[in-house]
Amino acid sequence: MAGASSGAAGSATAQEHWSSRWAFIMAAVGSAVGLGNLVRFPAEVGANGGGAFVIFYILCVVLIGLPVLLSETLIGRHGQSSAIESVKNVAAESGASRWWSLAAGVGMIAAFLILTYYSVLAGWIVYFIGIFGSDVAGAIGSGDIGGGALTGRSVEDVQAILPGLQADPATMLVMHAIFMAITVFIVARGVLGGIEKVAVYLMPAFFVLIAGITIYGAFTGAFSSALEFLFAFEPARLLDPTVQLSALGQALFSLSLGSALMITYGAYASRDTNLAKTSAQIASADTSVAIIAGLAIFPIMFAAMAPGVLDAVLAGEEEVQGGLGLLFINLPVAFQSMPAGSLIGFLFFIMVFFAALTSSVSLLEASVSWAKRRFGVSRLSTTLVLGGIAFLIGAWASFSFNSQAEFQPLDFLIFSGQPVFGIIDELTAKIMLPISALLVAIFVGWVADKRLIDSENGLDGGLHKFWRFLIRWLCPLVITAILVSGLFPGLLGQ
């Protein structure tokens, strides 16, 4: 390699590539499939009344997510650099202003901020792996692997595990540090030796685990209630703007869009990769995982619900507790009374860990790939410094669960009542990701040279015309709608 002999700066600028299309797909699916699918999606389904949300979500993935995903990967593949530099390169070739790179700049900062709290949450997963790991070891020791999990503890004790962890900053920080250190270790090893390797091993393992747990849930849990919950809907809710907007926000988050990640990963794609086909495969894998996650989680959770409560949930009279509570409180309680509960609980949290790790490496890589070029430093030093800063911000944010819960420095608009942790989440998901995705859509649809775009996108005929219509018109309009209503919820009249 020509750059190899020119020292640190040379190795900082050399562009690496995935070793195969399969590796690209695994890495991109690894980035897309994460806590967004396993925690946020079931929570949003629960909060937005089940089936209507699911249907609208799928529409958003196809009509908004997929065109933007293709746009991001093609900018990266053509630009052949970090996300910011790739946009600059495409803009320069198109005779447009370099300021369009703001599209990637906003996304890259969002990805970095998301990483800070993502690692705190993933640290909780590490903690639960420890709890279920020692439980399963005990069960094997006593020869009773077929029984429920955490049998020595009352339901109240199990419900108190998460609040107990949140009240114990030292343990929470250690878990956060462990997860961030693993992420840094992988990213520091590079695109081929780290990110790709982890993706090609962990993603197939993830798919085996999620398939196994879903089948287990189908046989032992309340599978038909879960199906009813996920797919039955009142058509009127399809028109509910809050349902629509939540579905749109979730689609961007889940496909890792508006966060510079897919531009970064697209730059590592080889010339002979058909980006349209690959983007469609990434989007369908991510969406299938979200739905399968629902089919894995809800049957297990519903099995532990009192029949009256379950009926009320299915009738839409009661909301399912979503989000963190669902994964860290309801599921552990459910595993207490399920057959082989400790083993399944252990495997469940290992599965979530794999998904979170392949996403967190992409969240860190977006800024590492830029900073190592910008400052001409080695990948190792860049990764250590950025991982360290992300750890410190995450550590600060994690105090939102205890001593700093009352510290709400931006008490206005969507930030009102939010401690630092919530502020980072709101700022990134409701403002920064949509802004970045919007700028990408306008840039690709209206600004960049059409011939350049057409030579990269792998589309022709009617499908090409349809994609152009979506990226020029539908995507900018709909994303603007999310942004405005996210910032000014009052406009929707709620």
Task: Classify residue 308 by burial, with Cβ atoms within 10 Å: 0-12, 13-18, 19+.
Answer: exposed
Amino acid at 297: I
Q: CA 166 to CA 124: how far, in whole Å?
A: 9
Judged by CB under 6 A, does residue 434 bind ligand PFF?
A: no
Q: How many residues does the chain have?
A: 494
Q: How far is the CB of 37 from ligand PFF (least distance, A)?
A: 6
- Give the shortest CB-493-to-ligand PFF separation in angstroms: 29
Q: Compare residues 110 and 139 and give the one whose CB is closer to ligand PFF.
A: 110
Nearest CB to ligand PFF, comparing residues 11 and 436: 436
260 lines the binding site for ligand PFF (CB under 6 A): no
Instruction: Identify the residue whose tokens are 């709909």.
Output: 478
Give CA–CA dist 123/61, Å, rounded: 29
Q: Is 251 in the site for ligand PFF (CB under 6 A)?
A: no
Binding part of the chain for ligand PFF, among 93-101, 251-259, 398-406, 446-454 by CB under 6 A, reads 251-259
Residue closer to ligand PFF (CB basis): 86 or 360 = 360
Q: Is 37 in the site for ligand PFF (CB under 6 A)?
A: yes
Exactly one of 114, 150, 182, 444 binds ligand PFF (CB under 6 A); which one? 114
Say how far apart CA 98 and CA 103 lie, in whole Å: 10
Q: In angstroms, how far is the first alpha carbon of the chain from the final one? A: 59
Q: Is 367 in the site for ligand PFF (CB under 6 A)?
A: no
Binding status of residue 120 toward ligand PFF by CB under 6 A: no
Q: Crossing angle for the helix pair 275-303 and 51-60, nearest 10 degrees?
A: 170
Q: Which is nearer to ligand PFF, 333 or 366 (CB)?
A: 366
Q: CA neighbours within 13 Å on the CB side: how many for 129? A: 16
Q: Minimal distance in Å, beta carbon 186 to ligand PFF?
A: 15
What does DSSP assign to residue 98? G
Q: Is 202 in the site for ligand PFF (CB under 6 A)?
A: no
| Amino acid of residue 139 | A
Contact call for residue 175 and ligand PFF (CB under 6 A):
no
Region binding ligand PFF by CB under 6 A among candidate stretches 31-39, 199-207, 405-413, 440-448: 31-39
Provide the sign of the torsion angle of the four alpha carbons 286, 287, 289, 294, taken in this order.
positive
- Select 150 or 199, whichever has its Cβ closest to ligand PFF: 199
Q: Which is nearer to ligand PFF, 200 or 283 (CB)?
A: 283
C-alpha–C-alpha distance, residues 366 and 262, integer Å: 9
Size of the residue set binding ligand PFF (CB under 6 A): 16
Stretch that binds ligand PFF, among 120-128, 154-162, 249-257, 337-345 (CB under 6 A): 249-257
Instruction: Report, in Å, the least distance between residue 256 CB and ligand PFF.
Output: 4
2 burial level (CB within 10 Å; 0-12, 13-18, 19+): exposed
Amino acid at 39: V
> Least distance to ligand PFF from the beta carbon of 311, Å?
32
Check binding of 332 to ligand PFF (CB under 6 A): no
In the chain, helix, strand, coil percent, each to 5? Answer: 80, 0, 20
What residues make contact with ligand PFF under the rule CB under 6 A?
32, 34-37, 110-111, 114, 253-254, 256, 259, 261, 359, 363, 433
